[in-house]
Amino acid sequence: MFAVGHMAIAYLLGKGSSKKLHVNLNIPLLLVLSILPDIDIIYDFLTGAEIHRGPTHSIVVAALAFIPIFIIYRKKAIPYFLALISHPLIGDFFIGGKLQLFWPISNQQFGLHELGSYYISITSPVNIALELSLFAAATLVLYKSGDWKVFFKADKTNLVLIIPIATVLLPSTIGYPFSAPLLLTEPLLAFAHLFYLVLFAIAVLKTLDYIYKERFRKSAKSQPTNLNLA
């Protein structure tokens, strides 16, 4: 799946589970976790390796990484864990497949196609229609719930949104890792990417502006006041 589909699934899962569990949800952190497994795309680009859908998509690695988080935060960690594992278990399992779900225990690849079903590629009309539908549903919930407001508030947690901006949203919109930019091949999907890009950029810029102003105020207060007694 593209980033839009992964984030939409994670948001809907996180929203639903947090409501059932009666816990507050950090939307930016949830969305970052939903695309975090695709950090291996950047590793492939920098090193020339081909590990995409390998170790970073393993549910074994995800479970081990979340053990201390579950110990500390208990049920509050559940929506975030669901966001992380939804990437391989839902998005990529049905779209594309070829996942090393149980690495390092096994290097065997899993997916809907590997189980003998129809292969659905990331660029197929089926997937494009699915991702646009998920995007529409997630955006509607985001608006009706008022969660969109978090992106217009200064919060240091918002800085984590630099990760999806730099690793998946901007690169895929302008080209990498595809042969042509989404703006040319799938304009509707590119619009969905641009929607998140703008929203995330606003959140990051507002937070950086707040941090700068806070430091400026502290610096001004620390300056000695010169009194003219002449």
Tens-place pLDDT, residues 121-176 = 988 999 999 999 999 999 999 999 999 999 999 999 999 999 999 888 887 777 66
Decide if 228 is inside a domain: no
Distance of alpha carbon 35 from alpha carbon 166, whole angstroms: 12
Amino acid at position 143, single letter: Y
Residue 182: pLDDT band (50, 70, 90) is: confident
Residue 187 domain flag: yes
Domain range for 115 is 3-221
Residues in the chain: 230
Q: Residue 76 above 70 pLDDT?
A: yes
- Please name the residues in contact with 17: beta carbons below 8 A apart, sequence gap of 6 or more: 78, 79, 82
Give me 23's structure tokens. 């816990």
Residue 85 belongs to a domain: yes
184 compared with 99, residue with greater pLDDT: 99
Residue 17 within a domain: yes
pLDDT tier for residue 227 given thresholds of 50, 70 and 90: very low
Please count the structural domains in the chain: 1
Q: Is residue 230 part of a domain?
A: no
Q: Where are the alpha helices (DSSP H) in the chain?
A: 3-21, 27-35, 39-47, 59-73, 78-86, 93-94, 125-145, 162-164, 170-174, 182-185, 187-222
Q: What is the pLDDT of residue 175?
A: 66
What pLDDT is stored for residue 224 in this prediction? 58
Task: Return the pLDDT at 176.
Answer: 63
Between CA 19 and CA 99 the distance in angstroms is 30
In a domain, 226, yes or no: no
In a domain, 102, yes or no: yes
pLDDT tens digits, one per residue of 183-222 = 788 889 889 999 999 999 999 999 999 999 888 777 666 6
What is the share, in percent, of the chain residues with pLDDT greater than 70? 92
Does residue 150 fall inside a structural domain?
yes
Give the model's pLDDT for residue 186: 87
